[in-house]
Amino acid sequence: MLLAAMMLVAGCNGQGEAEPSDPPRRPAPPPKFGVNLSGAEGRENDGARPTLADVRNAVDRLRFGMIRYPFRPSRMTPDRVEELKAIAAFTRSRGVPLILDNHNSRWNPVGEQIAFWTDLARQFPDDGSVMIDLVNEPDHVTWMPWASEAKAVIAGLRRGGIRHPILLQWPGYSGIQRFDKREPAGRECESAGCALDRTPGPLDPIDRTFLNGHRYFDADGSGTKRDCTNDKGEPRADSGFDRFAKQLRRRGLRGYITESAFGSYAAIPPGCMAVGADAVAQFRANSDVLLGITWWGGGRMWPDRYLFKIECPKDDRFTCPPSEYQRMLNPALSAGPGPVPGPRHDRPEPRR
């Protein structure tokens, strides 16, 4: 990435200045369109955690090209890790990256983060088939400490021999609209881009760390409402992905979106069709820096009434036809011959 050479203090430019020029886009393979499979991060228990059959269904039948597995660190017992190893072996055999997502939002001290991920990551291949999402939506940390500590965590993992791709989220719910506020040089940082720009040293000594943002399309970006509107209540048509891509490109960075949504298996709200189409189009147009997206709302944990539920009712999940929403989320589902038959059951599935 040549981060040190290319880093602009773009996050520290005055708001009144012209938008910095966008470096040329490089030829790149298509981005990966994937899905979150929730359950292992559930508050009460992880009884609805994804099984191998669930993952096989998402990959083989629904043709998702990337899987994000949110979990609570306290649940990573030896038995759970063995389950995850089987899932990782399957996704690796299909060429589908698996993201292990530490979904507890606690920004722990640097040493604790290094120790946790060193122990867990060493049990999985480091050939790119398994990626580590350090902390989901880190909380209770301000911008400059976050940036310096994130670089320290990454450097510590690399010194310990951990070479897995790393996904880095930031304070403020990791919203891409908060990545770069172009703060003037005399103002304190209020965004991740500014904090990274002002923190000395490379992001990653082996250049395998990627910025990892979230994007929901309701007025406050919280993902708590079905509406896709701006803060004036008007229908939203711009996903913001192109702007985020430019902010990454100017810094020589690349990234992923690991949470976003604009509908459900049952329906896409009419006011969300335009922004959903823009999201997919902008991802495909910026695949040199936006490498993949995992849509939010997959997994048996979600009840049928959940506003972003990707799958059909769970009893039919291996056989139901793809919906309009699923086809929008994953262009491969429309481009190919259609979903393959439901997955075989490699072992009994007691958890329903």
Q: What is the pLDDT of residues 284-327, one digit of tens each?
A: 999 999 999 999 999 999 999 999 999 999 899 999 999 999 99
| AA letter at 22 | D
Higher-confidence residue of 167 and 45: namely: 167
Q: Could you please report the per-residue DSSP string of 131-176?
A: EEE--SS-BS--HHHHHHHHHHHHHHHHHTT--S-EEE--TTTTBG
Neighbours of 88 (CB within 10 A): 22
Q: Assess if residue 341 is contained within a domain.
A: no
**306 lies in some domain:** yes
Burial 198-207 (b: 16+ CB within 10 A, else e): bbeebbbeee
CATH code, 74: 3.20.20.80
Does 252 fall in a domain?
yes
Number of domains in the chain: 1
In DSSP terms, 102 is beta-bridged to 71
Within a domain: 25: no
pLDDT in tens, 52-102: 999 999 999 999 999 999 999 999 999 999 999 999 999 999 999 999 999
> Tell me, what amino acid is at 259?
E
The reply to whether 342 falls in a domain is: no
SS (H, E, C) 182-238: CCCCCCCCCCHHHHHHHCCCCCCCCCCEEEEEEEECCCCCCCCCCCCECCCCCECCC
Query: Containing domain of residue 276, as a range?
Result: 3-16+30-335
Q: Count of residues for the chain?
A: 352
pLDDT at 44 (0 to 100):
82
94, amino acid identity: R
For 183-195, write each residue's pLDDT tens digit. Answer: 999 999 999 999 9
Q: Is the residue at 328 inside a domain?
A: yes
